[in-house]
Each structure stands twice: as C-alpha cells, then as structure tokens.
Amino acid sequence: MSVSIAVAATLALTLSNPTADDTVMSIADSWIDGFARFDPLEARLWGVETGTDRLIGTGRIEAVTRWRDDQRDLLAALSDIDIDTLGAPARAVYVNLRNKLEVNLALETCHRELWSLNHAGGWHLNLMNSLGIAADAAGANLDADLILTWGAQIAEYIRSEQSVLLAGLDEGYSAPQSVSALVASQFESFAAEDSALWSLGDDLPAPLATAWREAMASDIAPAMTAHARFIREDYMPRARESASVATLPNGEACYAASLFQHTGIRFDPAELRALGDDMSETARTRMMQAASALWGLTSEDDVRARVAALDTGAPLPQETIIANAQADTERLIQASARLFPDLPTQQVNLSVYPPEQRQATAASYRPDFSAGYNGTYSLNPEEGRFLHARSSEQVTAHEIAPGHHSQAMMGAFFGGLGEDAAHQILTIGFNNAFVEGWAHYAEILAAEEGLLQHPETEIVFWSEFGDTIPIAVDFNTGVATAEETARRALARRGTPDADLSAADNVLNWLGIMPGQIVSYELGADFFYRQRNRAREALGEDFDYPTFHRLVLEEGSVPLWRIEEKIDAWIDNAR
C-alpha cells in the first residue's frame, strides 16, 4: 500500500507502537490538514485552523487531483483497520471519516471541478465570512502586505477557475446557463463600489483600510468584473441549457454519486423515487390527523385550502423580521433545552445577508467554536418565509433550536468522547441526510412538543412532506422535462397557476446540487422513524435527552450508524 506523505508524516508523530485508535485519529488529523491546504477558504468556516499565508486555494486542476489522490491513500490506510477493535471515540471518527472519503472519491465521476459555478454555495458567497475569520486569526500580524497578498490570491483563483471552466466545456461539462447568469450577476454585485465586499475594510485602522481598498481596486474588483464578462460572453453560449444532470457526460452515475454524497446511502434512483411516494402517502395521513385535531376538518381539499391561506397578508417590515428571528432564537433555545442533555451556555449571533447574497439563499447557520459554544444565524429578510411570523418561526426552528444549532452544540460537546473535546472531524457537517435531515426533523419535533407559537405548523409540515423526492428524481434522471418539473413544483407549493418562472429557483437548485434537495425529507423521515421505533420499544424508558445524544454525539455519521446505536439502546434495555 502506498500511503501519502501526509499520512506517513502524521503517523510518525504518534507513539512508537500506535494503537488502532491512535492510527485512526492520526489519519483523521491528516484529512483535516489536507482539507485546510486544499480549500482554506471553506475549511476555516468550519473552525479549521488554516494559517494566514493562504486565504484561498489555487483553483487548479492539479490541486484537485492531488487532494483526490491523498484521500484515496487515506481511505486505503483506514481500510486496514478493523472497526471492531476500536474504542467508542475512535469508532465515531472512523465512521465519520470513512463516509467523507468514500463520498469524495465517488464524486470523481461528476468532475464537479469542471463546472464549479454555483449561485447558492459558490466560494464567492463564502468569501466575506472567510475573510473576517482570517483577519481575526491574523491578529497583530494583519498588515497591508498580507491584505494585498490575499487580494492577489483571489484574483489568481478567479483566473484559474476560468481556465478550468473552459476545460470543462471542451469535455462536455458545464453549469446550467440559468445558474451561470445568476453567478455572473453576483460577481458584478460584489465588484460594485457600494457592495458589502468593498465595505469590509471600513472598520479597520486607516492603513489597513487603505490596503483593502487598494486590493479591491487593483486586483479583486477587476478580476470579478472580468469573470462576470467571461461567464456571459465566453461561457454561457456553450453551457448546457437544461439544469438536469442527466445531460452531463455519465449523468446517471453522477446523479447516483450525488445521492450518495448527500445521503450516505448508495441509492438506485428508482428505489429512492418509490420511497418518496410511500413517504408522501404516510405524510398525507399525518396531515389529516393533525388537521382534524386542530381545525376539526376531515376533507383533504378543505385542509389544503386552509394551508394555502396561511402565511398571507401584508409582509412584515425588515426590522420586525429581524426582531422576530432574534426573539424566536432565544425562546426556542430555552424551550428545547429539556429535549437534550445539559449543555454549556450558548450564544447565537444574528446577521443579515448583504444584497449580493440574497438571490438564492433563505437562511443558514454556521457554528463558531473559536470562543465557546457559539454560532451565527444568517438570514435573507427578502425571503418569503421570513415575511410572516409563522413561517419565520418554522425556519428558525430548522436553523437554530432544536435544529442545526442544537445539532452542532451536541456534536461539539459530546462527540463520542464523553465530555472531552470532540475530534474536529465530527463537527464538519457534510452528510446532508444527517445535517439537513435532522433540522427538518426538528421542525416537526418543535411542533409536536409544543415549542412553537403557531401549532398549525405541524399541518403545514406534513402537507408538503415527501413530494420533493419524486420530483427531483424524475428531473435528474431525464424522465421529466423542465416544464413538467416546474409545474409539479408549483403545484406542490399550492400555486399551480403561477408563471413557470416562479419555479426557476427549484430547477436551479436541482441542477447545481442534484442530490441535496432529497436529503431533507429522507433524513427527516429516518430520524422520525427511529424516534418512534425507540419510543414504542422502550415505553416509559424512552427519553429525549438520551435519544438525541445517541443520534447527535458522533457528528455527521451515515444513517446506518445511528440505526445501529438505537438497536443497541433497545437491546440493552430488554
């Protein structure tokens, strides 16, 4: 076996006779180090220490190939270890890391680096946050020269991306034209002198503020403007018209790999579609039960009409939206505490997306463990779900408590390591069926447990549940056209007569992150079924703090690992 230099170097630092546990931890350290070198901009957003000399990766194909080869070596080293010989902490790291490595290598079939434009999760959308973290990390070493170096690196990355995108076109890989146009507009917005990116230096001391404006004027803004022009004039005319990945070379295999990426399960698309149909039927029954209990309605048409009438009326002003999100955040953290083991004091900072980031993103959450158990809740005040109090509360339950924030805090505090610090690999969330599935489950959990001020949210939740999966599978396997998919998406929203352009965001999402959209419902269904299974088997011995610790303590693991732990809990109680 050929082990990469990174693995060999790390293992050499362990004890002279490393145990299997030591070796697993060393391999995980190697992955973290490699991630930091390959994509420092993204890595530091997850709390990985990256150093300050390199703000962003090179963007070159050689770097992608080298990182892929390193991960192949890491997987080979990990595969030599018998998981049954590991203690609980190392086992958690092993399961988490193996899933990451297998997913990243499976995605090679998509050649995502060749069509990297992404209007919802592109590197440019994370640039400002990463810059802020890098500046804080630099501390007293943040000087004009370093700022100018970062500016040159950003421009270098953009030029590399253009070269790689052209290579992708030559091989038949491209982002959809609709997504490309959105990304071009985003780069134009960032380059404009009144943008939030230009304003980043406003709070810096005068010499540093001057350096940032110089970096923007000489490197960053010109490169972004040129990139937007390149996308519109050179890239889009040759890019794919359809957003479906079925039109890509080896599109079927790419879609299967994308489903594996976001769910941790090697799904056959037809199998997944059938599962979605079953989930929709079950959700319909639950919707009617909840509507009967709350509203006394027994007709499905009457229920859906009442659901469609919710979240209407005059939209809330921006200051009210922000105040509601802040109040809901604080209330839901406190109200949901009884569902979890005791955790350290937490803090969630609220931020509002700048205009440049509002085209495709409703809200997001990022943990920040640099100063304790903290996180940042970012929201788009123009997003429809924040314009009304009920839907805004539902989003906050998803993003904060008992959703993503609670999820991150549990993983960090326990991490399979008792109350010691968890290995960092456990707090980097890449398995969307775990990450987003949990947060989607948290929405219904909050409704069922009386944490919400709007009890009708339970009915809304089940009225929509499961329908996305058949729509997504049919689109990305080429069974349904864009027009058919748009009509189905609009009907799901309860607006079947709306103009088809109202579904553009859904089509773009399906095309640029083809496996992600199904992960919400798939993961939520899994957590919901595991909760019900454990509660039925254990009866009075079931309790939420234990259940939630078992499913969250090891970080973003494949779903089979959680099922394994629930089995053990039930067996031990008998």
pLDDT tens sequence across 144-158? 999 999 999 999 999
Out of 241, 268, 294, a domain closes at 241
C-alpha angle 417-418-423 in degrees, rounded to nearest 5:
25
User: Tell me, what's the pLDDT at 413?
Assistant: 86
Out of 77, 110, 143, a domain closes at 110
Kindly state whether residue 367 falls inside one of the protein's structural domains.
Answer: yes
Give yes or no: residues 382 and 435 share one domain. Answer: yes
Kindly state whether residue 128 falls inside one of the protein's structural domains.
Answer: no
Give yes or no: residues 159 and 204 share one domain. Answer: yes
Amino acid making up residue 295 = W
User: Tell me, what's the pLDDT at 301?
Assistant: 93
| Residue among 5, 34, 45, 168 at smallest CA distance from 101 | 34
Kindly state whether residue 130 falls inside one of the protein's structural domains.
Answer: no
How remote is the C-alpha of 361 from its chain's centroid?
12
User: Tell me, what's the pLDDT at 491?
Assistant: 86
Kindly state whether residue 129 falls inside one of the protein's structural domains.
Answer: no
Give yes or no: residues 344 and 427 share one domain. Answer: yes
Kindly state whether residue 121 falls inside one of the protein's structural domains.
Answer: no
Give yes or no: residues 210 and 65 share one domain. Answer: no
User: Tell me, what's the pLDDT at 4?
Assistant: 53
How many alpha carbons lie under 13 Å from residue 452 in its C-beta half-sphere? 28
Give yes or no: residues 327 and 283 share one domain. Answer: no
User: Tell me, what's the pLDDT at 242?
Assistant: 94
Find the domain containing 341 and state its range.
Answer: 318-455+543-573
Give the predicted TM-score (pTM) of the model.
0.86
Rg over CA atoms, the chain: 24
CB atoms within 10 A of CB 119: 25
User: Tell me, what's the pLDDT at 17?
Assistant: 80
The full DSSP string for 407-471 is HHHHHHHTTTSTTSPPPGGGGS---HHHHHHHHHHHHHHHHHTT--S-TTHHHHHHHHTTTHHHH
Kindly state whether residue 122 falls inside one of the protein's structural domains.
Answer: no
The kind and range of the H/E element at 92 are helix 88-106
Give yes or no: residues 404 and 424 share one domain. Answer: yes
CB atoms within 10 A of CB 512: 26
Q: How do residues 157-184 score in pLDDT, each as one tens digit? A: 999 999 999 999 999 999 999 999 999 9
Dist CA 239 CA 184 (whole Å): 13
Give yes or no: residues 390 and 434 share one domain. Answer: yes
Q: pLDDT below 70 — which residues of the chain? A: 1-16, 359-360, 415-422, 429
**Alpha-carbon separation of residue 358 from 121, 122, 146, 447, 492 (angstroms):** 12, 13, 30, 28, 23
Edge-to-edge strands of the sheet including 373-379? 346-352, 373-379, 363-368
Give yes or no: residues 449 and 554 share one domain. Answer: yes
**CB neighbour list of residue 35: distance below 8 Å, 6 or more residues apart:** 43, 48, 428
Give yes or no: residues 382 and 479 share one domain. Answer: no
Give yes or no: residues 279 and 323 share one domain. Answer: no
Question: How many domains does the chain contain in total?
Answer: 4
Kindly state whether residue 123 falls inside one of the protein's structural domains.
Answer: no
Give yes or no: residues 322 and 299 share one domain. Answer: no
CB atoms within 10 A of CB 160: 17
Give yes or no: residues 427 and 551 share one domain. Answer: yes
Sign of CA dihedral 70, 161, 143, 350: negative
Torsion of CA 276, 106, 123, 116, to 10 degrees: -90
Kindly state whether residue 495 falls inside one of the protein's structural domains.
Answer: yes
Out of 183, 216, 241, a domain closes at 241
User: Tell me, what's the pLDDT at 533?
Assistant: 97
Dist CA 469 CA 279 (whole Å): 9
